[in-house]
């Protein structure tokens, strides 16, 4: 296995693409398989071509691409790779239509985004700026392609490896890790990252009860407890379960902060809570900030600690036990933020 790092100046920094060709792992592979594909920019496509050449491969040699989730920085080049190589593109059934570039699915996702922007009470200028930003970056999704969907628990043979698809929604509806139990490692996309926490609530507005789904996914990853995780950004994670537990604790603290904002301000919208938590936001973070605030407000409302009235949320319980809203991960290890 080899890691290729591709530039990404729009979203979360450099993207990792993993090349499964049997190299340096002791595994034998008769085919060339990528995990994720990078964003659809000409210069990134050429960078992928150059990095593959350094490993003795060509884009035309690629047999399959396993996509962790539909976000453009992970799936954007899948269509171009398929057009050049005939590669099979695999994605979880929840994300497959978006990876494929299905126009109806893309329009539905955009329509739901606009609905959420109103529900979160984004001001007109922020909403219009965000819609323009997203429209300007639609091309990063790349070419349409045919996608073979998989579902949770499906096993994918890559040479003498067996990768199990482990569905871990929250950051995205179809986000999936590929777990190699024999090698005790998993390719986790953006389920956990070594720096920052994956956005929940704004990154994929299709996810219902996004924080609850994400917490469940963290617990499932902790239960798997692979020795190594290969994330979609930055460097490998040597204690994935510990990192997941750290992120879970972060969300407990974030929820406490949201309760504090409601206690200080009274009834507030996701946009107002976001402003109190994060201040002024720009670019893609205008989506992620209020989306994150919404995910926590929604979690409080579902637990009966807050209630929603129109666009506003208000505390019902002035002194809630926030820790009781989050399951105990069952481990005491803490993996701190990188850098």
pLDDT, one tens digit per residue, over 127-148 is 999 999 999 999 999 999 999 9
**What pairing do the DSSP bridges indicate for beta strands 306-309 and 312-315?**
antiparallel
CA distance 88 to 324: 44
Q: Is the dihedral of CA 90, 93, 99, 102 positive or negative?
A: positive
Contact partners, residue 144, CB within 8 Å, separation at least 6: 79, 100, 101, 102
CB 207 within 8 A of CB 173: yes
State the pLDDT at residue 10.
Answer: 65
CA distance 309 to 15: 40
Short-list 175, 171, 151, 120, CA closest to 297: 120
Of the options 3.30.70, 1.10.10, 1.10.287, 3.10.620, the CATH number for the domain spanning 250-325: 1.10.10
Taking residues 64-71, report their average pLDDT.
98
State the pLDDT at residue 8.
Answer: 75
pLDDT band at 339 (very low <50, low <70, confident <90, very high): very low
Q: Which residue has the tokens 């807050």?
A: 306
pLDDT, one tens digit per residue, over 146-169 is 999 999 999 999 999 999 999 999
For the chain, which residues make up each domain, given as ranges? Answer: 2-243, 250-325
CATH code of the domain made up of 2-243: 3.60.15.10
Taking residues 250-273, report their average pLDDT.
97
Short-list 337, 90, 166, CA closest to 235: 337
The CA-atom distances, in angstroms, between 248 and each of 40, 186, 217, 236 are 32, 19, 10, 19
Contact partners, residue 334, CB within 8 Å, separation at least 6: 242, 245, 246, 249
The CA-atom distances, in angstroms, between 285 and each of 39, 149, 234, 312 are 18, 30, 19, 21
pLDDT, one tens digit per residue, over 76-117 is 999 999 999 999 999 999 999 999 999 999 999 999 999 999
3-state secondary structure the chain: CEEEEECCCCCCCCEEEEEECCCCCCCCCCCEEEECCCCCCHHHHHHHHHHHHHCCCCHHHEEEEECCCCCHHHHCCHHHHHHHHCCEEEEECCCHHHHHCCHHHHHHHHHHHHHHHHHCCCCHHHHHHHHHHHHHCHHHHCCCCCEEEECCCCEEEECCEEEEEEECCCCCCCCEEEEECCCCEEEEECCCCCCCCCCCCCCCCCCCCHHHHHHHHHHHHHHHCCCEEEECECCCECCHHHHHHHHHHHHHHHHHHHHHHHHHHCCECHHHHHHHHHCCCCCCHHHHHHHHHHHHHHHHHHCCCEEEECCEEEECCCCCCHHHHCCCCCCCCCCCCCC
pLDDT band at 14 (very low <50, low <70, confident <90, very high): confident
Contact partners, residue 313, CB within 8 Å, separation at least 6: 262, 267, 268, 269, 270, 273, 297, 300, 301, 306, 307
* The model's pTM: 0.95
Residue 157: CB atoms within 10 A of its CB come to: 11
- Choose the weakest-confidence range: 24-33, 69-78, 152-161, 237-246: 24-33
pLDDT, one tens digit per residue, over 178-218 is 999 999 999 999 999 998 899 999 999 999 999 999 999 99
Same fold, 2-243 and 250-325: no
């Amino acid at each position: 296995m080899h890691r290729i790092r591709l530039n990404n100046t729009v979203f979360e920094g450099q993207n990792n693409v993993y090349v499964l060709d049997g190299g340096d792992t002791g595994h034998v592979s008769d085919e060339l398989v990528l995990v994720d594909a990078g964003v659809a920019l000409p210069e990134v496509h050429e960078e992928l071509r150059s990095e593959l050449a350094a490993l003795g491969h060509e884009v035309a040699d690629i047999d399959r691409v396993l996509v962790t989730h539909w976000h453009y920085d992970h799936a954007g080049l899948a269509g171009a790779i398929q057009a050049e190589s005939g590669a099979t593109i695999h994605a979880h059934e929840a994300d497959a239509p978006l990876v494929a570039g299905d126009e109806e699915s893309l329009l539905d996702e955009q329509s739901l985004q606009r609905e959420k922007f109103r529900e979160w009470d984004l001001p007109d200028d922020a909403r219009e700026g965000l819609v323009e930003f997203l429209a300007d970056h639609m091309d990063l999704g790349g070419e349409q392609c045919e996608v073979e969907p998989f579902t949770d628990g499906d096993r994918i043979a890559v040479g003498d490896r067996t990768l199990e698809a482990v569905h871990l929604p929250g950051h995205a509806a179809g986000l999936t890790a590929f777990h190699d139990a024999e090698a005790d490692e998993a390719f986790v996309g953006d389920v956990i990252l070594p720096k920052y926490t994956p956005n929940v609530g704004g990154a994929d507005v299709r996810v219902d009860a996004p924080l609850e789904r994400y917490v469940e996914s963290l617990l499932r990853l902790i239960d798997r407890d692979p020795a190594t995780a290969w994330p979609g950004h930055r460097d490998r994670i040597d204690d994935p379960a510990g990192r997941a537990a750290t992120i879970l604790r972060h969300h407990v603290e974030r929820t406490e902060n949201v309760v504090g904002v409601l206690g200080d301000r009274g009834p507030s919208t996701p946009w107002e809570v976001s402003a109190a938590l994060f201040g002024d936001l720009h670019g893609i973070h205008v989506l992620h900030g209020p989306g994150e605030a919404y995910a926590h407000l929604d979690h409080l409302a579902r637990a009966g600690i807050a209630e929603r009235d129109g666009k506003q949320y208000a505390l019902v319980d002035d002194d809630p036990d926030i820790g009781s809203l989050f399951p105990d991960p069952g481990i005491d290890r803490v993996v701190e933020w990188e850098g």
